[in-house]
Structure 1
Amino acid sequence: MTSPKDKIARLMAARRVAVVGASNDPAKLTGRPIAYMLRRGFSGEIVPVNPSRTEVQGLKAYPSLAALDRPVDLAIIGTAATQVEAVIAEGVAAGIRSYVVLSSGFSEHDAEGARLQARLTALADEHDVGIVGPNCLGVINAETGLIASFTTAMEENALVPGGFGFVSQSGALGAYWLDLVLQAGLGVSRWVTTGNECDIDLAAGIGMLVDDPGTRVIGAYVEDVKHGAAFRAALVAAARAGKPVFLIKAGRSSAGAVAAASHTGAIAGEDRVYDAFFAQFGAVRVDSVTALIEAAKLVLHGAVPAGERVGVLSVSGGAGVMLADAIEESGLAFPRLAPETARALAGVLPGYSKPQNPLDLTANVLSDTGMFRKTLAVMGAAAEVDACVLFIGLMHSIADVLAETILAARTASGKPFVVVWIGAPRPVVARLEAAGIPVYGDIPAAVTALAHVMHGARAQARAAGLGDASPDAAPGAGARQLTEWRSKARLREMGGLALPDGVLVAAPEAVASALADLPGPYAAKLQSPQMPHKSEHGAVILGLADADAAAVAVADLLARGAAAGVTCEGVLIECMVGFDMELIAGLRRDPVFGAMLVVGRGGVEVELTPDVAMGFLPLGAAEIEAMLRGLRCARLFDGFRGRPPVDVAALAGALARLGERFLAEPRIEEIEINPLVVRGASAVALDALVKEAS
Structure 2
Amino acid sequence: MLLDRLLRPQSIAVVGASPRSFIGSVALRNCLELGYTGALIPVAQNHSEVAGLAGVPSLSAIDKTPDLAVVQVRTDRILPIVQEGLEAGVRGFVIPGAGYTDSGADALAVSDGLAALRREYEFEVVGPNCMGVLDLVTRAAPYVGTVTSDVRRGTVAVVAQSGAIIEAFVNAGGRVPLSTAVSSGSEAVTGLADYLDFFTEDAHTASVLAFIETLTDATRTLTAARRLSEAGKTLAVCIVGHSDTATEGVTAHSGKLAAGARLTTAAFRQAGALIADDLDELMAFGELLGAGRGRPRGRRTHVVTNSGGEGNLIADIADSVGLQLPLMSSAAVKALRERWPFLGVRNPLDPWGADDYTNIYPTAIHHAAQEPGDILLVAMDQHRASGPHERELGLALAQYLHDTDSAQGKFPVLLSPVSDEIDPVLVEYCRKAAIPLMRGARPGLSALAKLATGVQDVAESTWQRPLVVPDLPPGGTVTEDQALGILASMGVTTPRRLHADNPTEAATAARALSTPIVLKGIAPNITHKTERGLVAISPVDVEQAAAEMIAKNPDLNLNFLVVEQIRGELEVIVGYKRDRVFGPTIVVGVGGVWTEFHNDAAVHVGPVDEKAAARLLDESTVGNMMDAARGGALYRPGVLTALRAVSDLALAHPTILSIDINPLIVGRDHATAVDAVIERA
Query: CA 1:159 to 1:633, structure 2 compared with 1: closer, same or farther past 3 Å?
Result: closer
CA distance in 1, matches of 2:378, 2:360: 17
CA distance in 1, matches of 2:200, 2:516: 61
Deviation at 1:223, TM superposition (A): 2.0
Assess if the C-alpha contact under 8 Å between 1:470 and 1:618 holds in 2.
no
Deviation at 1:544, TM superposition (A): 4.9
Structure 1 stretch displaced more, 630-639 or 69-78: 630-639
Residue 63 of structure 2: SS of its match in structure 1?
A: coil
Assess if the C-alpha contact under 8 Å between 1:79 and 1:103 holds in 2.
yes
CA distance in 2, matches of 1:40, 1:325: 44
Deviation at 1:527, TM superposition (A): 2.5
When the two structures are superposed, what TM-score results if normalisation uses the length of structure 1?
0.85
Residue 332 of structure 2: SS of its match in structure 1?
A: helix
CA distance in 1, matches of 2:582, 2:381: 46
In structure 1, the residue matched to 2:380 is 391
In structure 1, the residue matched to 2:41 is 47
Query: CA 1:58 to 1:373, structure 2 compared with 1: closer, same or farther past 3 Å?
Result: closer
In structure 2, the residue matched to 1:451 is 446
CA distance in 2, matches of 1:271, 1:174: 20
CA distance in 2, matches of 1:467, 1:10: 36
In structure 2, the residue matched to 1:417 is 412
Write the mapping of 1:466-481 to structure 2, written as runs, cut at 5 A: 466-467=460-461, 480-481=476-477
Structure 1 stretch displaced more, 381-390 or 394-403: 394-403
2:327 is the alignment partner of 1:333: no
Q: Percent identity?
A: 26
In structure 1, the residue matched to 2:170 is 178
CA distance in 2, matches of 1:17, 1:531: 63
Residue 497 of structure 1: SS of its match in structure 2?
A: coil
Deviation at 1:286, TM superposition (A): 3.1
Write the mapping of 1:80-99 to structure 2, written as runs, cut at 5 A: 80-99=74-93
CA distance in 2, matches of 1:660, 1:295: 38
Task: Map Cα deviations across residues 176-227 of structure 1 (whole Å, 9 max, x no partner).
Answer: 22110xx136421111112222112233333333332212222222222232
Task: Map Cα deviations across residues 285-331 of structure 1 (whole Å, 9 max, x no partner).
Answer: 43543432223212222454211111122233333333222322322
Task: Map Cα deviations across residues 42-64 of structure 1 (whole Å, 9 max, x no partner).
Answer: 23212222233444334343322
Deviation at 1:280, TM superposition (A): 3.2
Assess if the C-alpha contact under 8 Å between 2:438 and 2:444 holds in 1.
no
Residue 144 of structure 1: SS of its match in structure 2?
A: coil
Deviation at 1:469, TM superposition (A): 9.6
Deviation at 1:521, TM superposition (A): 3.9
In structure 2, the residue matched to 1:668 is 656
Residue 22 of structure 2: SS of its match in structure 1?
A: coil
Query: CA 1:174 to 1:480, structure 2 compared with 1: closer, same or farther past 3 Å?
Result: farther
In structure 1, the residue matched to 2:432 is 434
2:590 is the alignment partner of 1:591: no
CA distance in 2, matches of 1:654, 1:468: 18
Residue 410 of structure 1: SS of its match in structure 2?
A: helix
CA distance in 2, matches of 1:407, 1:105: 47
Write the mapping of 1:102-501 to structure 2, written as runs, cut at 5 A: 102-104=96-98, 106=100, 108-152=102-146, 154=147, 156-180=148-172, 183-184=173-174, 186-255=176-245, 270-303=260-293, 304-347=295-338, 349-366=339-356, 369-384=358-373, 386-391=375-380, 394-396=389-391, 402-420=397-415, 425-440=423-438, 445-446=440-441, 448-458=443-453, 461-467=455-461, 480-492=476-488, 495-501=490-496
2:526 is the alignment partner of 1:535: no
Unmatched 5+ stretches in structure 1 = 1-5, 259-267, 472-478
Deviation at 1:240, TM superposition (A): 1.9
Assess if the C-alpha contact under 8 Å between 1:73 and 1:97 holds in 2.
yes
In structure 2, the residue matched to 1:262 is none
Query: CA 1:39 to 1:385, structure 2 compared with 1: closer, same or farther past 3 Å?
Result: closer
Deviation at 1:80, TM superposition (A): 1.0
Query: CA 1:578 to 1:124, structure 2 compared with 1: closer, same or farther past 3 Å?
Result: same
2:28 is the alignment partner of 1:34: yes
Assess if the C-alpha contact under 8 Å between 1:107 and 1:115 holds in 2.
no
Residue 221 of structure 1: SS of its match in structure 2?
A: strand
2:601 is the alignment partner of 1:605: no
Query: CA 1:587 to 1:398, structure 2 compared with 1: closer, same or farther past 3 Å?
Result: closer
Query: CA 1:470 to 1:126, structure 2 compared with 1: closer, same or farther past 3 Å?
Result: farther
Query: CA 1:663 to 1:351, structure 2 compared with 1: closer, same or farther past 3 Å?
Result: same
Aligned AA for 1:500? P
Query: CA 1:202 to 1:636, structure 2 compared with 1: closer, same or farther past 3 Å?
Result: closer
Deviation at 1:675, TM superposition (A): 0.6
Aligned AA for 1:497? V
Q: 1:658 aligns with which of 628, 633, 646?
A: 646
Deviation at 1:692, TM superposition (A): 1.0
Assess if the C-alpha contact under 8 Å between 1:305 and 1:387 holds in 2.
no
Assess if the C-alpha contact under 8 Å between 1:20 and 1:78 holds in 2.
yes
Residue 608 of structure 1: SS of its match in structure 2?
A: helix
Query: CA 1:425 to 1:364, structure 2 compared with 1: closer, same or farther past 3 Å?
Result: farther
CA distance in 1, matches of 2:635, 2:132: 54
CA distance in 1, matches of 2:435, 2:346: 23
Aligned AA for 2:593? V
Query: CA 1:135 to 1:386, structure 2 compared with 1: closer, same or farther past 3 Å?
Result: closer
Aligned AA for 1:239? S
What is the CA RMSD across the aligned residues, in angstroms?
Answer: 3.2
Q: 1:647 aligns with which of 626, 635, 652?
A: 635
Q: 1:78 aligns with which of 72, 75, 91?
A: 72
Query: CA 1:270 to 1:385, structure 2 compared with 1: closer, same or farther past 3 Å?
Result: closer
Deviation at 1:381, TM superposition (A): 2.0
Q: 2:617 aligns with which of 617, 621, 628?
A: 628
Task: Map Cα deviations across residues 544-597 of structure 1 (whole Å, 9 max, x no partner).
Answer: 57xxx5555555444544x2x34x473333232233321111111121122112
Query: CA 1:211 to 1:450, structure 2 compared with 1: closer, same or farther past 3 Å?
Result: farther
Structure 1 stretch displaced more, 94-103 or 536-545: 536-545
